[in-house]
Amino acid sequence: MTLESTTGSAAVPDAVPVAAIVPALRTAFERGVTRSLRWRAEQLTALKRMLVERSSEFEDALFLDLGKNPTETQLTEIGIVIAEIEHTLTHLRRWLRPRRVGVPLAIAPASASTMLEPLGVVLVIAPWNYPLQLLLAPMVGALAAGNAVLLKPSELAPATSALMASLVPDYLDPRAVAVVEGGVAETTELLAERFDHIFYTGNGAVGRIVMTAAAKHLTPVTLELGGKSPVYVDDTVDLAVTARRIVWGKFLNAGQTCVAPDYLLATPGVSAALTPHLVEAIGELYDGDPRSSSSYGRIVNDHHFARLTGLLEGERILSGGRSDARTRYLAPTILGDVGRDSPVMQQEIFGPILAMVPVDGLDDAIAFIRVGDKPLALYAFTNSPSTARRILTETSSGAVGFGVPAAHLGIPGLPFGGVGESGMGHYHGRRSVETFSHEKAVLRKRLTPDTLRLIYPPYTERKDGF
């Protein structure tokens, strides 16, 4: 690793066909454009500059795509990526240092270590719900690890996608970073290419398509998927604060958050006591009327709007339920006594509907969680250490949050990712750099004295201590 930027002449020209972009990025990588620590730091700094200088354009694009409030955009999109950049810039040199490991006696004297080497050309495929954060946060790690990157924003957030396509080439090195816009057709075309890593965020059905395409080239994948994240509440907690936190995590981005609480497990007594606090918290967070509140978002498209309003049919609506197809407004909605086999429990809700599912108690809640797919996140509001311990040890999920939903993803030091149906691999901070690197084993052993003679054939005496 040198501190000097190397120069190369491979450039990715404008409007080149997809099939030509990957080879151009590969040429830049092969020429060492992305290798130096200086280049990596320059790219991360330029990315931060783009986010700061063009902040209001991003705020406008996210408002157009999702009705996202500018403050929410700063907190949950731009702010998270900037925090990720700053954390990475602070620690990158240390993360990249070779790590020494011990050597068994039979091989000693020798020195063994590992080093992180960049993989090559990385494809990042992002979804629409946090179209800025989920496109750029993976790229922070990919660039920090010294890779060339191809970004594929979601076509369902078209304003953000177009802005990325126009701004990224102005700020980042166009030899090594490219944006390809488009939907299924373009992504399918991209997936036919050979990448050195594919980082996909989105639903599991497409995750399988991505992994199948990657298998053809033996390309490693990270799949950041979704699913139903439960929240368990017992009677040992302050229900007013609990309600505010759940309402915040649930209705952020109008519920279109991969780590939003999907459904709530509580005994009928706790549910009854919690419901008025939830209703009050909705009023408090959304100015008494979510419909006119600038803090509340909209559903991304007509398809999801129809899907979500369809989920309300036949359910007991405790609060909300109102909708307006023209503006794709769906009120923050709480459903009570939701049956375990009701349609709302058969899919990830991914919208502003909180399903309250009655349970007998902790045993029943844990059993129910274990029957389902492993969630991306699991939340619990309890002051009981034994309940907390049982939740940690008797369930499996990408993350566990006690007393707060969603916030774990804003901590760069924590790995972020799913398990089982909620995904594979993880990122953020050091884990991102590791994800986009190959950890190469390096062994150095002097030729003299030739201590390996102890294990060379012929095996005339026992030499199995090796």
Q: Give the binding site for ligand NAD (CB under 6 A).
A: 125-129, 134, 152, 154-156, 183-184, 187-188, 201-203, 206, 209, 224-226, 258, 348, 350, 376, 418, 423
Residue labelled with tokens 């590969």: 26
Do residues 63 and 126 touch, judged by C-beta distance below 8 A? no
| Residue 221, beta-bridge partner list | 198
Q: How far is it, in rounded angstroms, from Cα 197 to Cα 436?
A: 7
Taking the complex as a whole, the smallest distance from the CB of residue 151 to ligand NAD amounts, in Å, to 10
Q: How far is it, in rounded angstroms, from Cα 120 to Cα 77?
A: 27
Q: CB neighbours of 169 closer than 8 A, spacing ≥ 6?
A: 177, 178, 179
Which CB atom, from 69 or from 201, has the smaller least distance to ligand NAD?
Answer: 201
Residue 18: strand, helix, or coil? helix
Taking the complex as a whole, the smallest distance from the CB of residue 42 to ligand NAD amounts, in Å, to 27
Which CB atom, from 134 or from 378, has the smaller least distance to ligand NAD?
Answer: 134
Q: How far is it, in rounded angstroms, from Cα 125 to Cα 40?
A: 21
Single-letter residue type at 283: G
Distance between terminal CA atoms of the chain?
Answer: 34
Taking the complex as a whole, the smallest distance from the CB of residue 164 to ligand NAD amounts, in Å, to 12
Which CB atom, from 272 or from 419, has the smaller least distance to ligand NAD?
Answer: 419
Q: Report phi then psi at 148, rounded to 5.
A: -85, 150
DSSP state of 340: T
Which CB atom, from 382 or from 422, has the smaller least distance to ligand NAD?
Answer: 422
Which CB atom, from 43 or from 154, has the smaller least distance to ligand NAD?
Answer: 154
For 299, the token pair is 């559903």
Taking the complex as a whole, the smallest distance from the CB of residue 389 to ligand NAD amounts, in Å, to 26
Q: How far is it, in rounded angstroms, from Cα 57 to Cα 63?
A: 10
Number of residue whose CB is nearest ligand NAD: 226
Taking the complex as a whole, the smallest distance from the CB of residue 250 to ligand NAD amounts, in Å, to 14
Q: How far is it, in rounded angstroms, from Cα 314 to Cα 305?
A: 17
Q: How far is it, in rounded angstroms, from Cα 233 to Cα 236?
A: 8
Taking the complex as a whole, the smallest distance from the CB of residue 381 to ligand NAD amounts, in Å, to 22
- If one counts every other C-beta atom within 10 angstroms of the C-beta of residue 92, the result is 17
Concatenating the DSSP letter of every residue in 79-133 gives HHHHHHHHHHHHHHHHHTS-EEE---TTT-S-EEEEEEEE-SEEEEE--SSSTTH
Taking the complex as a whole, the smallest distance from the CB of residue 33 to ligand NAD amounts, in Å, to 26
Which CB atom, from 126 or from 221, has the smaller least distance to ligand NAD?
Answer: 126
Which CB atom, from 202 or from 249, has the smaller least distance to ligand NAD?
Answer: 202
| Strand spans (E) along 96-238 | 99-101, 111-118, 121-125, 148-152, 177-179, 197-201, 221-224, 230-233
Taking the complex as a whole, the smallest distance from the CB of residue 304 to ligand NAD amounts, in Å, to 8
Q: How far is it, in rounded angstroms, from Cα 379 to Cα 356?
A: 14
Q: How far is it, in rounded angstroms, from Cα 342 to Cα 61?
A: 36
Cα angle 105-107-111, degrees, rounded to a multiple of 5? 100
Which CB atom, from 8 or from 182, has the smaller least distance to ligand NAD?
Answer: 182
Do the strands 263-266 and 323-324 form a parallel or antiparallel pair, or are they unpaired?
A: unpaired
Taking the complex as a whole, the smallest distance from the CB of residue 428 to ligand NAD amounts, in Å, to 10
Identify whether 117 is a catalytic site residue: no
For 430, the token pair is 């050091």
Which CB atom, from 10 or from 123, has the smaller least distance to ligand NAD?
Answer: 123
Q: Kindly name the residue from 224, 315, 348, 421 that is annotated as catalytic.
A: 224
- If one counts every other C-beta atom within 10 angstroms of the C-beta of residue 60, the result is 16
Residue labelled with tokens 């500059």: 49
Active site residues: 224
